[in-house]
Amino acid sequence: MQTIFVTGCSSGYGLETARHFHARGWRVIATMRRPRSDLFAPSDRLHILPLDVTDADSIALAIEVAGPIDVLVNNAGIGLFGALEHSSMAKIRDVYATNTLGTIAMTQAMIPQFRARGAGTIVNVTSSATLAPFPLAAAYTGSKTAIQGFTGSLAHELAPLGIRLKLVEPGYGPTTAFAQNTDIRLEDVLPEPYGSFAAPILAAMAEPALSTTEADVAAAVWDAVHDRSEKAHFPAGADAMAIVAAAAQ
């Protein structure tokens, strides 16, 4: 039985990914800052662990308690939307600490186990914001784009050790908890002249022509984990797919 370790499972993409793999017979380590057992049906193949990806001790303890792991999914993330001018540096540091450094720290901590076994898969969940410029998300996009470069470079470094790296790039999911995962009020970060610029963007986000569901991302992670080719990028959701198709024209 294979084991998957997923970060950020309290809601959204991480929760659905954990459920997706569990339903298909995997042993699942579902991690979150504040564990909630009510999110899953009881199962001897499911283990819910506390994890703060910004805390080295928390990472080390979770990996130790989890036992042997076959797949790591770095999904934990913080959203940030608004004009850069009015976004606090404290919040931006929080975003990079989780989205960028948290992913790097989790990956670094998992490598020794995978290296010793000569096998392992790491899936880093980024965003379709890395595929095409998205307004009013500069800091967030930067935090995710850094992981794109990190993953591409590290894939070459770890391939000789039998460790595979993949990227899943979700589109925008307006119904997910992640879409509201920010403690900043839009009226605070979008004063004039940004408010007028943002109005049509917010309207489009409220009723997107194409969007991404949690199931889309879980399916993309499944495909990435089982892919044995050199393919590195797995866009998830109709909107992400549309961006990729447009770029290819």
Q: Is 194 a catalytic residue?
A: no
List the catalytic residue out of 13, 96, 140, 194.
140
Contacts of 16 (CB under 8 A, 6+ apart): 214, 215, 217, 218
C-alpha distance from residue 85 to each of 78, 89, 144 (Å): 19, 10, 19
Q: How far apart are CA 126 and CA 229, in angstroms?
A: 20
DSSP states along 225-240:
HH--SS--EEEESHHH
50: left (phi over 0), alpha (psi -120 to 50) or beta: beta
Q: What string of H, E and C letters represents the secondary structure of 65-113?
A: HHCCCCEEEECCCCCCCCCHHHCCHHHHHHHHHHHHHHHHHHHHHHHHH
C-alpha torsion angle, residues 170, 172, 178, 182 (rounded to 10): 130
Structure tokens belonging to residue 174: 């307006």
What residues are annotated to the active site?
140
